C-alpha cells in the first residue's frame, strides 16, 4: 500500500464499524471500550496493517514537543479581532523558554474538526490550547474523551471541567456600566457577544447587575446580540436606536463591536459622547485609536495566553494533577467616548 494510501484512523473506524474516538481509545489502551468493540478495532488494524504515526516514529516517551493552538474561527475573524493576536503573543512568549513547538490550527468546519481529531488521536501533539469556546462545541468534549491535555482560553460555562483561564467578564462589564451610571446615563443599552459563549453571557450579566444596583430595569429592549464583528456592532446599534431612539449610552462587549456602533451613531448624526456615550471591552489598539478615544474594559489578553500555555505545560509534565481554573482581573480605561 503506497504512502499516499496509508490507512488512517478514519479508515480503521469505518472497517470496524465504530467511531474514531473508540479507535483512539483502543490504540491508547483505554478501558472505556467494550470487549466487542476492542476486538473489532484490533481486527481492522491487523487487516489494514494500520500503524499509528506515534508508534511508527518509535516515540518511547510519546512526546512530540509540540502543542496545538486551536481557533475554531475563520481567517477573517482571526485577522480582524485583536484578541486572537494578543493570545498568540502570550502563548509564544511562554513557549520561547521551552523546546515546545506551536502549531496554529483553524477549525472552520466538521471536516477540519475531524482532521484535528485524527491528529490528536495519533498523538501528533502533546496537548491542545483551545480559544474562542462555544457552549455546544463538541471539540472540548472530544479532546477530553481522548485523554489529551487540553486547556481553554475562556470556558463553556461556570461548571467548566477543563483547565482554563479567562478575564473577570462579569466584573468588568459591571464596572463599565457603573461608570456610565456615574456619568448620569440612565438608558444604557448593551451589544452582547454570541450568547452561546460564556463570555457573551457573562458580560450581559455584568450589565444586568449594574443596572439592578442602580435601581434600573434590565429592559430587554436595550439588549442587542451580535457576533464580535464590526458589522455586527453596527447593525446591533441600528436596531437599538430603532427601538430606543432616546438611549443615552451603550456598552459593547468588545472594542470591535463598539467601533461598529460608533460608525452607526455618527451615520445617524449622534454625537459621542454628548448624545450617546460608548464603552467597549478589551482595551485593544482599536480603543486607543478610535475617534473619540474609546473608554474600554482592559482585560489582560496576553497574560491569558501566557497563563493557558503554562497550565498546559504543567498538565503535560504532571498528568493526573487537579485541573486549574483561573480568573484574571480587569480594569476600566476611561477615555473621551464617555
Q: Is residue 58 part of a domain?
A: no
> Is residue 155 located within the same domain as residue 110?
yes
pLDDT value, residue 57: 41
> Is residue 197 located within the same domain as residue 135?
no
At 19, is the pLDDT very low, low, confident or very high (cuts 50, 70, 90)?
confident
At 47, is the pLDDT very low, low, confident or very high (cuts 50, 70, 90)?
confident
Query: Which carries the bigger pLDDT value, residue 23 or residue 258?
Result: 258
CATH of the domain at 34: 1.10.260.40
Q: Are 275 and 266 in contact (CB under 8 A)?
A: no
pLDDT at residue 3 tops 80? no
Q: Are 337 and 293 in contact (CB under 8 A)?
A: yes
CATH of the domain at 90: 3.40.50.2300
> Is residue 251 located within the same domain as residue 314?
no
Q: Are 280 and 296 in contact (CB under 8 A)?
A: yes
Write out the residue range of the structural domain in which residue 149 sits: 66-166+302-327
pLDDT at residue 122 tops 90? no
pLDDT value, residue 30: 63
pLDDT at residue 1 tops 70? no
90-101 core/surface letters (b: 16 or more CB in 10 A; e: else): bbbebbeeeebe
Q: Is residue 57 part of a domain?
A: no
Q: Is residue 335 part of a domain?
A: no
> Is residue 86 located within the same domain as residue 152?
yes
> Is residue 74 located within the same domain as residue 10?
no
Q: Is residue 61 part of a domain?
A: no
pLDDT value, residue 105: 85
> Is residue 185 located within the same domain as residue 226?
yes
> Is residue 189 located within the same domain as residue 73?
no
Identify the CA nearest to 151 among candidates 35, 22, 312, 43. 312
pLDDT tens across 200-214, in order? 999 999 999 999 999
pLDDT at residue 252 tops 50? yes
> Is residue 177 located within the same domain as residue 278?
yes
- Sign, CA dihedral 277-212-171-139, equals negative
Average pLDDT value for residue range 142-149: 84
Percent of the chain with pLDDT over 70: 93
- Is the model's pTM score more than 0.85? no
pLDDT value, residue 58: 38
pLDDT value, residue 29: 60
How far does Cα 2 stand from its chain's mean position? Answer: 39
> Is residue 40 located within the same domain as residue 138?
no
> Is residue 177 located within the same domain as residue 237?
yes
Q: Is residue 60 part of a domain?
A: no
> Is residue 150 located within the same domain as residue 71?
yes
Q: Is residue 338 part of a domain?
A: no
Q: Is residue 333 part of a domain?
A: no
Average pLDDT value for residue range 129-141: 88
Give the cell for residue 45: 488494524
pLDDT value, residue 56: 44
70 strand-pairing partners: 105, 130
Overall number of domains in the chain: 3
> Is residue 234 located within the same domain as residue 266?
yes
Q: What is the mean pLDDT of the chain?
A: 88
Average pLDDT value for residue range 310-330: 92
pLDDT value, residue 51: 63
Q: Is residue 183 part of a domain?
A: yes
Amino acid at each position: 500500500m503506497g504512502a499516499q494510501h496509508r490507512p488512517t484512523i478514519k479508515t480503521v473506524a469505518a472497517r470496524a464499524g465504530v467511531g474514531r474516538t473508540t479507535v483512539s481509545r483502543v490504540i491508547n489502551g483505554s478501558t472505556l471500550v467494550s470487549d466487542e468493540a476492542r476486538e473489532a478495532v484490533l481486527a481492522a488494524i491487523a487487516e489494514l496493517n494500520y500503524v499509528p504515526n506515534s508508534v511508527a516514529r518509535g516515540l518511547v516517551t510519546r512526546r512530540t514537543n509540540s502543542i496545538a493552538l486551536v481557533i475554531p474561527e475563520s481567517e477573517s475573524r482571526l485577522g480582524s479581532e485583536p484578541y486572537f493576536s494578543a493570545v498568540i503573543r502570550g502563548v509564544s512568549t511562554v513557549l520561547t523558554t521551552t523546546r515546545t513547538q506551536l502549531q496554529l490550527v483553524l477549525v472552520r468546519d466538521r471536516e477540519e474538526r475531524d482532521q484535528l481529531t485524527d491528529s490528536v488521536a495519533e498523538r501528533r501533539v502533546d496537548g491542545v490550547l483551545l480559544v474562542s469556546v462555544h457552549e455546544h462545541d463538541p471539540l472540548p468534549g472530544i479532546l477530553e474523551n481522548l485523554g489529551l491535555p487540553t486547556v481553554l482560553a475562556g470556558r463553556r460555562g461556570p461548571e467548566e471541567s477543563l483547565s482554563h483561564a479567562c478575564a473577570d467578564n462579569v466584573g468588568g462589564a459591571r464596572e463599565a456600566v457603573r461608570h456610565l451610571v456615574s456619568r448620569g446615563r440612565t438608558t444604557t443599552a448593551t451589544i452582547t457577544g454570541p450568547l452561546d459563549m460564556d463570555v457573551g453571557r457573562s458580560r450581559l450579566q455584568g450589565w444586568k447587575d449594574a443596572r439592578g444596583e442602580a435601581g434600573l430595569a434590565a429592559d430587554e429592549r436595550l439588549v442587542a446580540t451580535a457576533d464580535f464583528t464590526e458589522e455586527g456592532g453596527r447593525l446591533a446599534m441600528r436596531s437599538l436606536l430603532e427601538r430606543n431612539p432616546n438611549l443615552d449610552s451603550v456598552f459593547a462587549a468588545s472594542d470591535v463591536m463598539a467601533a461598529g456602533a460608533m460608525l452607526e451613531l455618527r451615520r445617524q448624526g449622534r454625537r459621542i459622547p454628548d448624545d450617546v456615550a460608548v464603552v467597549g471591552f478589551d482595551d485593544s489598539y482599536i480603543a486607543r485609536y478610535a475617534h473619540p478615544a474609546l473608554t474600554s474594559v482592559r482585560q489582560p489578553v496576553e497574560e491569558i495566553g501566557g497563563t493557558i500555555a503554562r497550565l498546559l505545560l504543567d498538565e503535560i509534565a504532571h498528568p493526573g494533577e487537579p485541573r486549574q481554573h483561573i480568573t484574571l482581573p480587569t480594569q476600566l480605561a476611561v477615555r473621551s467616548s464617555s
